[in-house]
């Protein structure tokens, strides 16, 4: 029997599934109220495997279900959706079946391929996106957060190779980030920044630079018409056999909506959450990543650019690999940190006193924080100046990054003074 097709806009109830376990339901009521509730059987597990730390009570177990919300989804789900231009492209792709600006419709359309191991499927078993090529043109239905034009893609090993969108039950193993005319060399910039992070011992996804011409069958709505290389990054939320590995970003952890990703928390909040949920040693790894952020002039490390990952049984989080790192100062000379660090955002203000204030607010030992900063800056200087990948960056952009590294090194080295 052919599956029934229901347009996302007519779906009233969605099942929330974590890997293969049903954990709850999102129902929409007349007047466009959305209510999420956990299933009793999942409540009885105490909330394991974990969907999001934001749903956990301080005393253990799950919190009460959130109240129904008018015209919006609970923040955990809103954070699974694409933002800005990428969202508009996805809405156009599903035109007629998804109403612009309607989070429930879009989640229903994209729910089979979300970040991490969560899936959101129509409770009545209906298919929400046409995948039957005999009747309709198949539609892409992956969701990735963020604003830059990007696609979740598969690498084809068959004839001709090439990169394509996943259709049917196929899943993307890579994220393709398309360049933007507004930011020259942005792919090369991120490529080199990821290589630098790896060279200094950090956990980063595999990546490569590819050409626009390597892609096949990309729908027109997603065409950016921009010139230049495309950055291909291996997805860390998909395993070798296509299995899903759960992740959540820090907007989700703190229950903040995507629109508040630059103000919903400070870096010490993220550090202290990592210290409690993962370990103090891993919180210091976060400090090293922060020092890298400062020295490379990366003003875009907002709440959605840090994630937790739930490997194995999914009961306990670890810090996800580093992603979306690039020097923003070549494009925005007056840029500052995306969130406040010890009460300051300006890069040049981030000398030892700010790191001490950060350490105290994060409840991390001051000497360990200062040492992590100094060691990171030293390693960056050992690797950056002869990193092979820096040659890929356009000269003007690279010069600005170099100037920033030179200017910030002595400022951060004040952390070495006794």
Closer CB to ligand ATP, residue 151 or residue 364?
151
Which stretch, 3-11, 36-44, 209-217, 228-236, contacts ligand ATP (CB under 6 A)? Answer: 228-236
Pull the structure tokens for residue 221.
């709505």
Size of the site for ligand ATP (CB under 6 A): 22
- When binding is defined by CB under 6 A, the residue of 42, 236, 306, 384 that contacts ligand ATP is 236
Considering the complex, what minimum distance in angstroms separates the CB of residue 284 from Mg ion?
23
Q: Sort strands 230-234 and 307-310 into parallel, antiparallel or unpaired.
A: unpaired
Q: Closest approach of Cβ 310 to ligand ATP, in Å?
A: 13
Q: Which residue in this structure is represented by tokens 């933007």?
A: 180
Among 81, 106, 144, 194, binds ligand ATP (CB under 6 A): 144
Distance CA 385, CA 372 (A): 21
| Minimum CB–partner distance for residue 103 and Mg ion (Å) | 19
Q: Considering only CA atoms, which of 12, 9, 11, 6 is closest in space to residue 28?
A: 12
146 binds Mg ion (CB under 5 A): yes
What percent helix, strand, coil does the chain show, rounded to 5? Answer: 35, 15, 45
Pairing of strands 13-18, 246-249: unpaired
CA–CA distance, 304 with 257 (Å, rounded to integer): 10
CA distances from 185 to 172, 213, 222 (A): 25, 18, 20
The beta-strand segments (E) located in 252-388 are 307-310, 318-319
Tell me the closest approach of the beta carbon of residue 70 to Mg ion, in angstroms. Answer: 28
In 62-125, beta strands by DSSP E: 69-70, 118-122
410 phi and psi, to 5 degrees? Answer: -65, -30
Are 186 and 392 a contacting pair, CB within 8 Å?
A: no
Assess 147 for contact with ligand ATP (CB under 6 A): yes
Judged by CB under 6 A, which stretch of 41-49, 88-96, 301-309, 354-362 contacts ligand ATP? Answer: 301-309
- With CB under 5 to 8 Å by kind, the binding choice for 103 among ligand ATP, Mg ion, none is none
Distance CA 55, CA 227 (A): 43
The site partner of 233 among Mg ion, ligand ATP, none (C-beta below 5 to 8 Å per kind) is ligand ATP
- Residue located via tokens 């129509």: 122
**CB of 46 closer than 8 Å to CB of 54:** no
Name the residue number minimizing CB distance to ligand ATP.
Answer: 146
Residue 75 interacting with ligand ATP (CB under 6 A): no
Q: Which stretch binds ligand ATP (CB under 6 A): 60-68, 162-170, 233-241, 391-399?
A: 233-241
Catalytic residue among 15, 249, 300, 324: 300
Does 148 sit near ligand ATP (CB under 6 A)?
yes
- Residue 175 sits in the site that holds ligand ATP (CB under 6 A): yes
Nearest to 49, CA basis, from 248, 256, 321: 248
Q: Does 103 bind ligand ATP (CB under 6 A)?
A: no
Within 252-311, the residues that bind Mg ion by CB under 5 A are 305
Q: Which does 349 bind (CB under 5 to 8 A by kind): ligand ATP, Mg ion, none?
A: none
**Binding segment (CB under 6 A) for ligand ATP, from list 119-127, 147-155, 163-171, 371-379:** 147-155
Quote the CA–CA distance of 212 and 208 in Å, as a whole number. Answer: 13
Cβ-Cβ contacts under 8 Å for 211 (sequence gap 6 or more)? 229, 230
User: What residue 255 binds from Mg ion, ligand ATP, none (CB within 5 to 8 A, per partner kind)?
Assistant: none
144 binds, among ligand ATP, Mg ion, none (CB under 5 to 8 A by kind): ligand ATP
Closest CA to 86 of 166, 10, 147: 147
Spatial contact of 258 and 83, defined as CB atoms under 8 Å apart: yes
Least separation in angstroms between residue 39's CB and Mg ion is 32
CB 77 within 8 A of CB 107: yes
Residue span 320-339 as binding mask against ligand ATP, x where in contact by CB under 6 A, dash where not: ---xx---------------
- CA atoms of 107 and 26, how far apart (whole Å): 10
Applying CB under 6 A, which of residues 87, 93, 235, 354 lies at the interface with ligand ATP? Answer: 235
Site for Mg ion contains 190 (CB under 5 A): no
Closest distance to ligand ATP from the beta carbon of 199 (Å): 18
Nearest to 399 by CA among 329, 298, 347: 329
Q: Is 300 in the active site?
A: yes
The DSSP bridge partners found for residue 27 are: 13, 35
Region near Mg ion per CB under 5 A, out of 63-71, 141-149, 370-378, 407-415: 141-149
Residues acting as catalytic residues: 300
Contacting residues toward Mg ion, per CB under 5 A: 146, 305, 324
Contacting residues toward ligand ATP, per CB under 6 A: 115, 144-148, 150, 175, 177, 205, 233-237, 249, 300, 304-305, 307, 323-324
């Amino acid at each position: 029997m052919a599956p029934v097709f229901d347009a996302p806009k007519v779906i009233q109830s969605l099942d929330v599934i974590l890997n293969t376990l049903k954990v709850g339901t999102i129902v929409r009521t007349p007047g466009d109220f959305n209510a999420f509730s956990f299933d009793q059987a999942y409540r009885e597990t105490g909330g394991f495997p974990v969907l999001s730390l934001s749903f956990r009570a301080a005393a253990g177990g799950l919190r009460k279900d959130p109240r129904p919300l008018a015209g919006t989804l609970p923040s955990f789900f809103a954070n699974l959706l694409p933002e800005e231009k990428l969202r508009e492209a996805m809405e156009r792709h599903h035109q007629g079946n998804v109403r612009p600006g309607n989070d429930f419709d879009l989640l229903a359309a994209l729910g089979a391929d979300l970040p991490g191991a969560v899936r959101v499927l129509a409770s009545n078993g209906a298919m929400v996106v046409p995948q039957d090529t005999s009747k309709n043109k198949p539609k892409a239905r992956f969701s990735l957060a963020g604003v830059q034009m990007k696609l979740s893609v598969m690498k084809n090993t068959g004839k001709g190779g090439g990169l394509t969108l996943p259709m049917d039950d196929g899943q993307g193993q890579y994220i393709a980030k398309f360049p933007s005319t507004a930011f020259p060399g942005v792919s090369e910039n991120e490529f080199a920044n990821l290589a630098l992070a790896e060279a200094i011992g950090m956990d980063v996804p595999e990546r490569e630079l590819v050409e626009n011409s390597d892609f096949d069958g990309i729908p027109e709505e997603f065409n950016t018409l921009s010139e230049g290389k495309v950055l291909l990054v291996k997805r860390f939320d998909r395993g070798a056999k296509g299995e899903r590995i759960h992740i959540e970003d820090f907007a989700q952890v703190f229950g903040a909506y995507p629109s508040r990703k630059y103000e919903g928390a400070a870096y010490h909040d993220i550090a202290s959450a990592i210290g409690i949920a993962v370990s103090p040693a891993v919180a210091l790894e976060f400090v090293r990543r922060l020092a890298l952020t400062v020295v490379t002039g990366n003003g875009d490390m907002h709440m959605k650019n840090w994630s937790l990952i739930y490997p194995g049984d999914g009961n306990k989080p670890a810090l996800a690999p580093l992603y979306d790192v690039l020097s923003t100062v070549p494009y925005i000379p007056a840029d500052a940190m995306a969130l406040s660090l010890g009460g300051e955002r300006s890069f040049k203000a981030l000398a030892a006193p700010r790191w001490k204030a950060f350490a105290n607010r994060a409840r991390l030992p001051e000497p360990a924080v200062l040492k992590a900063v100094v060691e990171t800056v030293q390693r960056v200087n050992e690797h950056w100046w002869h990193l092979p990948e820096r040659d890929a960056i356009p000269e003007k952009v690279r010069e600005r990054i170099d100037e920033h590294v030179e200017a910030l090194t002595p400022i951060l080295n004040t952390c070495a003074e006794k």
